[in-house]
C-alpha cells in the first residue's frame, strides 16, 4: 500500500467521523426542539384555554375578580333575603293575635311568647305594635336569658 492510499484512507475516516459528529449533533438538536414542543403543548400555561373555563372544570384556583364575584353571588343567593318592615307595618300588629315589636331596629314577632313570658302577658302586650326598645332595655337590657329568648322571634329589620 502506497503513502497516497494511506492519506486517502485517513481523509476518508476523518470525513466519516466529522460527518457522523455533525449528523449526531443535528439529530440531537431536533429531538430537543421536539421535546420542547411536546412540553409546550401539554403544560398548563400554554394551553389556549380561558381562566374561566379552567375554573369551571376546577383545574385552577379561582383568582380573577369575576370569579370571586361569582362566588359571592352564589353565597348570597343561597342565603335567605333579609326582611325589612316599616314602623307602619309593625303598628298594625298590636294585639294578642299578632304582636310585633321593634327592639334596637330589629323587628320581632312576639305572638307566641305572650303567654309564655315569665314576667306576665301584660308586659309583652305593652310593647306590641311599637318600638319597645326602651321598655325592654330598662327591664332586661344585658340580661342573658331575655336577650337569648328574644333572638328566636326576629323576623327582620326596621326599614329606615
Ligand atoms: C320583648 C321580649 C321579652 C322577652 C324575650 C323577655 C324574656 C324574659 C325572660 C327569659 C324572663 C325570665 C328571666 C329569668 O328567668 O332570669 C323574663 C322575665 C321577666 N320579664 Fe321579660 N321579656 C320580654 C319583655 C319584657 C318586658 C317588656 C317587660 C316589662 C316591661 C318584662 C318584664 C319581665 C319581668 C317582670 C320578669 C320576671 C322576672 C324578672 O324580674 O326578671 N319582660 N322575661
Give the mean pLDDT of 27-43: 51
Together in a domain, 40 and 54: no
Is the pLDDT at 128 greater than 90? The verdict is yes
Is the pLDDT at 109 greater than 50? The verdict is yes
Q: Which carries the bigger pLDDT value, residue 23 or residue 121?
A: 121
Q: Is the CB of 125 under 6 A from ligand 1?
A: no
Q: Place 19 in a pLDDT band, splitting at 50, 70 and 90.
A: confident
- What is the CATH number for 150? 3.10.120.10
Q: Place 9 in a pLDDT band, splitting at 50, 70 and 90.
A: confident
Strand duo 154-158 + 84-85: pairing: parallel
- CB distance 92 to 129 below 8 Å: yes
Together in a domain, 101 and 136: yes
Q: Residue 62 and residue 68: Cα distance in Å, rounded?
A: 7
- CB distance 107 to 90 below 8 Å: yes
Q: What is the domain count for the chain? A: 3
C-alpha cell at 13: 475516516
Q: Is the CB of 119 under 6 A from ligand 1?
A: yes
- CB distance 25 to 18 below 8 Å: no
Strand duo 100-103 + 106-109: pairing: antiparallel
Together in a domain, 96 and 152: yes
- CB distance 128 to 95 below 8 Å: yes
Is the pLDDT at 112 greater than 60? The verdict is yes
Could you list the residue range(s) of the whole structural domain that residue 55 is in? Answer: 49-79
Together in a domain, 89 and 154: yes
Is the pLDDT at 68 greater than 90? The verdict is no
Together in a domain, 4 and 17: yes
Q: Which carries the bigger pLDDT value, residue 21 or residue 139?
A: 139
Average pLDDT of the chain is 77
Together in a domain, 99 and 150: yes
DSSP-derived 3-state class of residue 63: coil
Over its C-alpha atoms, the chain yields an Rg (Å, rounded) of 42
What letter would DSSP give residue 152? T
Together in a domain, 104 and 93: yes
Ligand 1 atom at minimal distance to the Cα of residue 127: 27
Ligand 1 atom at minimal distance to the Cα of residue 149: 5
Q: Which carries the bigger pLDDT value, residue 140 or residue 52?
A: 140
Q: Which carries the bigger pLDDT value, residue 71 or residue 102?
A: 102
Together in a domain, 64 and 108: no
Of 110, 109, 107, 112, the residue nearest 86 (C-alpha): 107
Amino acid at each position: 500500500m502506497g503513502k497516497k492510499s494511506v492519506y486517502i484512507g485517513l481523509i476518508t475516516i476523518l470525513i466519516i467521523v466529522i460527518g457522523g459528529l455533525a449528523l449526531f449533533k443535528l439529530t440531537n438538536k431536533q429531538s430537543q426542539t421536539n421535546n420542547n414542543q411536546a412540553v409546550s403543548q401539554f403544560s398548563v400555561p400554554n394551553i389556549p384555554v380561558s381562566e374561566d373555563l379552567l375554573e369551571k372544570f376546577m383545574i385552577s384556583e379561582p383568582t380573577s375578580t369575576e370569579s370571586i364575584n361569582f362566588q359571592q353571588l352564589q353565597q348570597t343567593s343561597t342565603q335567605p333575603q333579609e326582611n325589612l318592615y316599616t314602623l307602619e307595618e309593625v303598628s298594625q300588629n298590636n294585639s294578642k293575635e299578632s304582636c310585633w315589636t321593634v327592639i334596637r331596629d330589629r323587628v320581632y314577632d312576639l305572638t307566641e311568647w305572650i303567654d309564655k313570658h315569665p314576667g306576665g302577658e301584660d308586659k309583652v302586650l305593652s310593647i306590641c305594635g311599637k318600638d319597645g326598645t326602651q321598655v325592654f332595655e330598662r327591664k332586661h337590657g344585658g340580661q342573658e336569658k331575655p336577650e337569648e329568648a328574644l333572638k328566636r322571634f326576629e323576623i327582620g329589620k326596621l326599614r329606615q
